[in-house]
Amino acid sequence: MNELTIRRRADDDLPGCVAALATVQAADRYPVDWPEDPAGWLTPRELVEAWVVVDGAEVLGHLVLARPEEELAAAVGEPAERLIAVARLFVGTGARRRGVAVKLLDQAVERAAARGLGPVLEVEAGATAAVRLYERAGWQYAGSFEGEWTTADGRTALLRAYVAPAR
């Protein structure tokens, strides 16, 4: 096993990101529906930066920093232009319990600080493992709002908004 490395995502990382995402989707239904263009889904138009954690050449985890949507900004009570959103965060199922998600969250907080922005994220309320991760990492619940999509069990998504711990 090599040392875990975090770095900016390169275009040639996308196949490995898609492969890791496929394991997450099969295990956790994230995303709920497999995207028609998974590499495109990992590169939303709001993207500011993208990061990966790798072990050698294998992509273990992924994170996007993006301009937040107004609903998320409203839920945390800050103007969107003062925030940056953590999005498309996942760790392949074979790499869990190795600190990959925490490494990515720490990177998000560090990069947000470098940009002078407050890091925020949203998570579907039913994603209890993710909620536990964020809360264990010190992220503070700020409010909830309805999503514009339905969950795997057919209900309207209820999104929990979080702000990063103060540093």
Q: Where are the domains of the chain?
A: 4-119
- Residue 127 CA to chain centroid, in angstroms? 12
Per cent of the chain over pLDDT 90 is 88
148 or 162: which leads in pLDDT: 162
Name the maximum alpha-carbon separation found in the chain: 43
Residue type, 39: A
Is it true that domain 4-119 has CATH number 3.40.309.10? no
Q: Residue 129 has which token pair? A: 């493992």
- pTM score, whole prediction: 0.93
Instruction: Confirm if 104 and 64 have CB atoms less than 8 A apart.
Output: no
Contacts of 86 (CB under 8 A, 6+ apart): 63, 64, 65, 105, 108, 119, 120, 121
Mean pLDDT of the chain: 94
Q: Convert the pLDDT of each residue in 45-95 to its tens digit.
A: 999 999 999 999 999 999 999 999 999 999 999 999 999 999 999 999 999
Q: Helix-strand-coil percent breakdown of the chain, rounded to 5?
A: 35, 35, 30
3 state SS of 84: strand
Q: How confident is the model at residue 90, as a pLDDT?
A: 97
pLDDT tens track for 120-136: 999 999 999 999 999 99
